[in-house]
Amino acid sequence: KNAGFGVLTIIIAVSILLAVCAFLMGSGNAAFFSFAPLIPNIAKHFGVETITMIAPIQIMTGFGRCVSPIAPAILAISAIAKVSPFAVVKRTAIPMLVAAIVNV
């Protein structure tokens, strides 16, 4: 708040940060639960409900996991389909990008 950012800017920045973390870790839960305890204090500081900030952030971690080639679900799907995990991620990347834009 003192830096001049509004609540929407903070939501977008944290959402992108956690989506990247979920992509790198292959787990939306690991990324979300490492940062989730910080959100109530940030929301209180900005004068908004916690759910207003935490819902889009949590959804973005799921989107990040869906485009991670090391996510267990992607690995299982690629093994069943007998294709590379990168081929699966290539098909999910554009829909997840659109979903991320709509989410925020």
Give domain limits for the chain: 7-103
Q: Which of 10, 9, 27 is nearest to 63 (CA)?
A: 27
What pLDDT band is residue 94 in, cutting at 50, 70 and 90?
Answer: very high
Report the chain's C-alpha Rg in angstroms.
Answer: 15
Which among 14-18, 43-47, 79-83, 99-103 has the top mean pLDDT? 79-83
- The reported pTM is 0.83
pLDDT single digits (tens) 22-53: 999 998 888 899 889 999 998 898 889 999 99
How large is the average pLDDT for residues 11-16? 90
CA atoms within 13 A on the CB side of 61: 19
| Residue 40 φ then ψ, to 5° | -55, -40
Instruction: State the pLDDT confidence band at 54, using cuts at 50, 70 and 90.
Output: very high
CA dist., res. 51 & res. 57, Å (int): 10
* pLDDT of the residue at 2: 64
Beta-carbon neighbour count of residue 65 at 10 Å? 26
